[in-house]
Each structure stands twice: as C-alpha cells, then as structure tokens.
Amino acid sequence: MENITHRFIICAVFILGSLLPVAMQATGNQGHHQSGLRGQVVGFPTFVHQCHIRIVSSDGAKTDIDIVTDSELRFEVSLKPGVYTVVPYVVNTPPLFIPPGSPVVVTVEKKDIEEITLIYTPQPQ
C-alpha cells in the first residue's frame, strides 16, 4: 500500500509540474511585470483559429518568448519595459505552408499594457 501511495505522489508532482508552464502561458503571465502587450492578429486565412507569436527583445535584453493566441487570435503577455520585435506565425504541417508574418517593432513602456493589432502580412520567401 505504501508503494502505491508513493507512486501516486510522484505522478501527481510530475503532472502538476508539467501543467505549470501551460497555466502560466494561458494567463499571459511571463513574469510579474506591470507592463506588456495585449492584442489580436488579423488577416490570416479564415481556417486559422490559433497562431503563435514570437516576441524577441530588440534592445539587447535576452527576451525570446513564444506564446499561443486563443481561438479568436487574441493574446496577452507581461513583459519588462523595452523594445520588442513581434512576429505572428502558424505551425505548418505538410502540405500546408503559411509563411510567417512580417515583424513589427513595439515599445513597451513601464507600467503600461500596449494594445496592438498585428495585421498578418506574409514575409516574402
């Protein structure tokens, strides 16, 4: 009986540890900052109901975040103040290929949630 309890505890810890990053991403919590980005992606083909957004710091900081939008292509993420390059993209599965969107540079101010609309414009290949 003690062996079953021990296995159950190990499984529970593993499952909770696996779900924590997903829960943090779902709430848009990428840190305890009071600033960030909130917005929506528009212009993808109508069959795209979710996309990824890559956020990379443009000002020398070491931020490189990948978030997933909700089913209406909306997103929210907490970020430190700074300058970021934001790129919407879809994870492609053959034979489907949708090129990533053009990068957009956004400045996030201290204690401000920057509202943006990313208009999907395919990058030339």
Domains defined for the chain, CATH in brackets: 31-119 (2.60.40.1120)
pLDDT-derived band at 121, boundaries 50, 70, 90: confident
> Across all residues in the chain, what is the average pLDDT?
80
Bigger pLDDT: 72 vs 92: 72
Q: Residue 11: left (phi > 0), alpha (psi -120 to 50), or beta?
A: alpha
Q: Are 65 and 82 in contact (CB under 8 A)?
A: no
Each residue's pLDDT tens digit, 87-118: 999 988 788 889 999 999 999 999 999 999 99
